[in-house]
Chains A and B, each alone.
Chain A
Amino acid sequence: HLATSLPLPSERDHLRPRIDLIAFMIDIKSKYSLKNVEASLAHVDASFFLGKVCFLVTGVGRVNYCSIEMNAIWKLGEVYCSPVLFCELELEGIRVATAQRLLRMLQICAGHVPGVSALSFSSLMRNSADD
């Protein structure tokens, strides 16, 4: 399911399946997309931040088009205890690889991978921050 911002319209709440993973997309060329994501994060229930949220930063192939400072993105990942993935949508190889990663994360979040839960994502992040 794709949405340009949160919260999702309430009319369709009863038809909506369970949400297992929220991937927030930030276009590094657009400051507006970062602001939009920051505003949408406020509408997400706290329980999602136990591994069911990730940030996907696109447009990273072109350094010269950067409108967002990297520190702002790292900080976002830290504050919300969620992983930050980078990809360049215009390159098919990277696009496919990123889609596969997201799919794998989704499988784990939906509980389809025995022995691994979404909580592993946040604990992995905490460890690297402590180093």
Chain B
Amino acid sequence: ENVDPQRTAFLLRKQWTLYSVTPLYRFSNARLRDYARLLSAFIAAEKQKGLAVEVGVELDIKVAVSSLPDLKGSDQDQAAILVQLSSRSPASPKNSEEKLIWSGWFCCVSGDDLSENVPEDFTCLPLFLANGAESYTSIVGNWFQKTFDCCFRRLAISPLHLSWMAAMWTGCKVDKTACAMELVFSVPRLPQPLDISYAIHPEDAKALWDTVQKTPGEITQEEVDVFMDCLYSHFHRHFKIHLSATKLVKVSTAIASAHCDGIIKFLQSQYLTGVLMLLTELAISRIQ
């Protein structure tokens, strides 16, 4: 599944907030233009009601809904759906540039577990990623929930899953000089919040992972545990702190960075589908 990097470049290096979405009822790929129109009217109505997002400047919001057919894992997956909100100030000339103020996209990568078990009329797009003001996310989410009888929930990532990501992404080959792998830990039960940041040279991390992983292409929980334990004991040797007693809250590698609050940043287009596959799996397990 080689995704054309040009078409998905705009997804990289942006901070996306993750949601899990239950299957959409009576969603049709053929009606995307209609949905854009209806959503646009909904947003205008919400603004009339006084749920205005920006105080002062009245923004003219344009909605575009399109399909991203490249972002899927298997043929059974639904093509990803992209929703974009752009604004143009009414004061500026008619053909001036529109500014993208919010983006959100639904996707399903290798979501066969879910799509196989869902009745007809339902479309499975369990992962939703949003970038932009929370208020717009809320309005768009509400429209989808009302129109397709689905449910959005913030998708948090547990320390267990974050350590999987750390191990998986360390093993990936990166062309350019990779940036350091960084793990951030939050220390519990202290009067003042304390975060510990542990940066590891990417080559050292990869060398360690290569000695741990037995079968290329396969990862076991045991291998992830050994990898993390090595990192923890190295840290303990130097700082006498047991990182295993803290909460892993963020993982950053050259491939992507993920935060436990459910925030992701994609950094390499060649691994985009791989990361989406993992996130889809998380979203599905949250729904079921």
Contact = CB atoms under 8 A, between A and B. Distances in A.
Interface in A45-66: 63-66
Nearest to B154: A64
Interface stretch (B95-103, B200-208, B239-247): B239-247
A66 B247 CA distance: 9
Contacts of A67: 158-160, 244, 247-248
B114 to A, nearest CB: 18
A66 B221 contact: no
Contacts of A30: 244-246
A72 to B, nearest CB: 8
8 contacts: A30-B244, A32-B244, A32-B245, A63-B158, A66-B160, A67-B159, A68-B160, A69-B225
Chain A residues touching B, majority SS: helix
Given A64-B260, A69-B221, A71-B221, A33 B160 contact: no
Interface in A23-44: 29-33, 35
A68 B221 CA distance: 10
B244 A64 contact: no
B247 A29 contact: yes
B263 interface: no
* Size bracket, chain B contacts: 10 to 19
A131 B246 CA distance: 38
A64 B245 contact: no
Interface string A79-109: 0000000000000000000000000000000
A31 B245 contact: yes
Interface residues of A, number: 15
Contacts of B244: 30-32, 35, 67
B260 A33 contact: no
Contacts of A66: 158-160
A66 B232 CA distance: 17
Given A64-B157, A67-B159, A71-B221, A32 B188 contact: no
A30 B159 CA distance: 10
A111 B188 CA distance: 40
A67 B158 CA distance: 7
B267 interface: no
Interface in B119-160: 156-160
A71 B244 CA distance: 18
Given A64-B260, A71-B221, A29 B188 contact: yes
Contacts of A29: 159, 188, 247
Interface in B217-248: 221, 225, 228, 232, 242, 244-248
